[in-house]
Structures are given as C-alpha cells and as structure tokens.
Structure 1
Amino acid sequence: MEDVEITDVNDDGSPYQAEKAPIRNQDLTSLSLTVGELMSQYGWYLLLGTLLLYLLIQYLSKRRSSQSRSPPQTLQDAVLGARRQEAMEAARIKMQEELDAKAGIFREKQKQQEEEKRRQKIEIWESMQQGKSYKRTAKPCQTTGEASSSTTEAKPKPDKKPLRSADYSPLSGQGGGSCSWRPDTKKGPSAGG
C-alpha cells in the first residue's frame, strides 16, 4: 500500500491544525527518584555545603568592594597629606622670616651699642689726654633715662669703719690677731719645674 496523507480541513477550507498535548518524558521520573534518594542520604551535607558556599561568596564580594573603594581613599589621603605638608612648609617659612627680622633688629642694636661704646672710649681717651678723670666724663655720657633713674635711686653711703687697724699688713705679720705669716726657713729652694 501506498502512503497516503490525510489532512483535515476546516469548514472554510483551511487546513486544520490540532493542538498537541505536551510530551511527557519517562526519564524525568527516574531522575526525580535519584535526586530523592541522594537527598535522603546526603541532605545535611548538601545543605551545609550550600551554606558554606553562600558565606564564601558573601565574604569575597565584601572584600572585593572594599578593595575597589580603597584607591580613591588613598588618593584622598595623599592629597590631604600634601596639603598638610604645604601648610607646614608655609609656617616654617613664616617663622624663619620672623626670626630673620628679629636677628636683623638684634644686629642693628648690637652695632649701635658697639658704636656707643667706641664713642665713649674716644671721649674717655680725649678726656684723659686733657687731664680729666674718667668718672667725670662717664656721667655726662649716660642717657637721660639712666641719669634720672640713678639720681632717684642714689642713697647716701654709710660710713664704714675699718675692721682692722691702719697699720695692719698681712704679709709682715704685724698688726696682729692670732694669725701671722712667717716664712719657713727650714725648707730649701724649690725644685721648680
């Protein structure tokens, strides 16, 4: 016999297509039986392994995200460190300028004091050449502030009586007290060195 193909036609003459039912695979039942058997024997191990795998994935993702954030943080720290260093350098420069200014003022004062001392020495020398005493020339050289303070603070000196008599000489041993110096005649000349 020959193969004949029969086709259904709708009332309007178009070919009829039948809805096909889903095909069921007989192998899935054996697969479900195998999975059930594995779960009954190794279920707790599989559950524990799955949990450990989940925790490992979470840990690695956190670590990866923290590493991706760190380069901008180090860049920001580097910028902040550079700014601090610039500020410190500016403060050092400012302090050095202040120190240089103070040193310049100090040098000027030293030069003025040296010039004043030199002028006083010249005046003293000239006054000594003229036969005048040093004390007489030293008083006019004082500044007005020093002179006014020295006159207000000047106190009369009390009369001091000498502690020993006028004829006392410590080398001669006279004018006495309990101590006197006597050369030791027993010793010979010193050996010298």
Structure 2
Amino acid sequence: MDDVEIEDVNDDGSPYHVEKVPLTNQDVTSLALTGEFLSQYGWYLLAVTVMTYLLIQRLSKRRSTQNGSSSLPQTPQDAAFVARRQEAMEAARRKMQEELDAKAAIFRDKQKQQEEEKRRQKIEVWESMQQGKSYKGAAKLSQTSEEANSSSLLKPKTDKKPLRSADYNPLTGQGGGSCSWRPGRRGPSSGG
C-alpha cells in the first residue's frame, strides 16, 4: 500500500495549513490543584467544618431558648386563662381527694365491723367452752352465719352430675356404654 497524503484545500486552491498545538485540558489541571490542596489541608478543613456546624447548632439553640423565655409578656387574657385552668385543676384534685377519703372511711368502718364480729365470735366460743359446750358447735354456728352473709355475694353452686358412672373402668371395657374393646386371646392361633 502506498502512503496517501490528504491535504485540505481552501476555496482559492491554496493548501490549508493547520498548526499543531499540544492538547491540554484546563479542567483536569484545576482538579489536580484541588486534589493537591485537599491532600495537604484536608484534615484541617474537616475540623473547621465540624466546628462551624457545632457552633451554628449551639447558637440556634441559644436563640430559640431566648426567644421562648423573653417573648412578649403574657397578656391579661393569657394570665386569666392560666389562672382559671389552675383553679379547675385544684377543684378536680380536691374532689378526687374527697372521694378517696370517703372510700377510706367506708373501708375503715367495714374493717371495724369485721373485727367486732370476730371479737364477738371469740367471746361466744369462750363462753361456750366455759359452760362446757363443744367448741366445734359454736364454730359451726359462726361459720354458717358468715356463709349466709357471704352467700349473697357469691354465685349459687349448680349441681354438676358426673360425666361417667362410678363403676366405669376403661381398661375392662365395662360401664363404657355402647362401645367396648377387649383385647384378643393370648397364645398361638388355632389351626393348622
């Protein structure tokens, strides 16, 4: 193959000459300078950035607390509203405390009655023992009176019938109803 040379020609027929300039990219050189700067001062730049961020955060917190505490003084409407709200809360607390005190008084009365009843029963038992009567008879009388008092609070018992008869034994197959299983005979089978 022969080397072929191609020349550009201008409109007038003269050869077109192009000057050859070495190719350089200006963008790449700026990146190289930036990379060189970061490699030398990167840790310092990072530290300054973090400190600036923390300083901004602290100042914004301080500003928000100052705005909240030194805001406009409360208007009379707000003060009246706060006072009414506090009065309502106090009234509700007093009402709840009165209810609690009433319940406590009722509970104390019940406790006193129960203690008085127990003391009276102990006296009755002691007197019956002094007279020579049996201790158990007096105790049964007191228990029946307590059961009568507590039976109004408890549900009455319902009669529950047993599910199976007393003579049921699943191993024998008796008393089980219509279905029964019996093991087969032991021993060699008959036949030949």
- Give the TM-score, by structure 1 length: 0.38
- Give the TM-score, by structure 2 length: 0.38
Larger radius of gyration: 1
